[in-house]
Structures are given as C-alpha cells and as structure tokens.
Amino acid sequence: MLSVHDVNWNSKSTRVLDFACGTGLITRNLQDHVSKILGVDISEKMIEIYNKKFENNDNIHGICTDILSSDFNDEISTDFDVIVIANALHHLGDPKGVLLKLSSYLKPGGHVIVLDFFNCKETHEGRSQLFPKHADHASCMASHIHGFTPEQFEDMFKSIGLSEVVTDTSSWQYEFEKDGEKFYMKYILGHGKK
C-alpha cells in the first residue's frame, strides 16, 4: 500500500488513474482501498495482461493509449482523486511535462503520487549490478535515467503548481545479493496536491 501523507483512501469514493500501469502491480496494491481504477499504458501487451488480471473486478479497467501525445483526444475524465505513476517517470523524456499533463486529469485537491528510483549512490551501484549494459550510460543520457532526488521532485512538483509536496526516500528499497555482496536499489516516493 502506498502510504502517503494526507491521502484519504476510501473504498467507496476514491478514483485513481494508474498511469503507465504495466501489468498492474500498483493497481493490485490499491484495489481494496479505492472505488475505481483506470489503468493507462502505451503497450497493448501490458494492457492485455492488466485487463486479464482484473477481469473479475468491474471497478478496474485498462486502456492502451498515449495520453502524452499532442494529438491525444480520447475522453478521459478530468476528476480523478489520485494519479499514480510508478517506475515509469525516469523512462519519459520530459518528466515535468508528464506531471503537468497528468495533473490536468486531477480534480482540485487531488493527489499526484510518483514512485521512482531515488538517484543516489546505492541505486547506481544496484542498477549497474542488475543492468550492467546500462552502467556507463550516465554521461550520455538524461540525468533522470538514474531516478530523482528529493530536490528534483520538489522543484518539479512545485513548478507545476502542486502544493503540500512531500518526498520520502526511506520507506522503499529493493535488496538483493550478488556474489555474496548485498546491493540496494532505493526508491523515492513523491506527493503533491493540486
């Protein structure tokens, strides 16, 4: 469960947009605490798996679409209570633009929640063990490829007009062992209110 300051999860009323939902790991965590979840992903395969996974739950539905594209004109409601984007923002070229676009689907007072890699020494080491091919890309790729710092989250969230910005780098980490040595990938959770 994403425990975030000030979000009143309500199984009768909270409506969530799970952006870049993938196969639905976050939706699965939230499903008992909210009333409806719309999953959105650019990959047809992901949405196929997502919809299969939640086929017995009428309150969860996934659609394959690109809401970030400039000619996107599908009807998506603009009064979500919460928008979640997990493990995806660092993949996207313009993270601030993405958050701005996503917040346009939130009702006033709604919450943006981002879970992503915490850009720190431990995450760099962990990722270079797990994904050795990506290890030396740092110099030629955007810095957010390695995740985000609390300062970056705060700047981004505030610059698009979100308030009550909170970041948390201590609650989430993935731990693994390789050749007898322990590695960690640390996560950062960010919250802002529209």
Q: Which of 154, 142, 163 is nearest to 189 (CA)?
A: 154
Of 2, 9, 38, 41, which one interacts with ligand SAM (CB under 6 A)? 41
Complex with ligand SAM: residue 28 or 107, whichever CB lies closer = 28
Identified binder of ligand SAM from the candidate list 5, 52, 91, 134, rule CB under 6 A: 91
> Tokens 């700047």 identify what position?
155
Which among 18-26, 74-82, 144-152, 159-167 is the span making contact with ligand SAM, rule CB under 6 A? 18-26
Q: Which two tokens stand for residue 105?
A: 């689907």
Residue 91 or 158: the one with the smaller Cβ distance to ligand SAM is 91
Q: Which of 25, 135, 138, 142 binds ligand SAM (CB under 6 A)?
A: 25
Q: Indicate the residue among 11 and 72 with the shorter CB distance to ligand SAM.
A: 72
**Size of residue set near ligand SAM by CB under 6 A:** 17
Q: Which stretch binds ligand SAM (CB under 6 A): 82-90, 130-138, 160-168, 178-186?
A: 82-90
Query: Smallest Cα–Cα separation from 193: which of 1, 5, 3, 2?
Result: 5
Cβ of residue 50: shortest distance to ligand SAM, in angstroms?
9
Contact residues for 121 (Cβ-Cβ < 8 A; gap 6+): none
For the chain, the helix, strand and coil percentages under 3-state DSSP, each to the nearest 5? 30, 30, 40
Report CA dihedral (41, 159, 185, 113) to the nearest 10 degrees.
Answer: -50
What does DSSP assign to residue 172?
Answer: -
Residue 15 Cα to chain centre, angstroms = 16
Residue 21 as a binder of ligand SAM (CB under 6 A): the answer is yes
Residue with tokens 């999953």: 39
The least distance separating ligand SAM from the CB of residue 179, rounded to whole angstroms, comes to 26
**How does DSSP classify residue 148?**
B
64 forms part of the interface with ligand SAM (CB under 6 A): no
Binding interface with ligand SAM (CB under 6 A): 20-22, 25-26, 40-43, 46, 66, 68, 86-88, 91-92
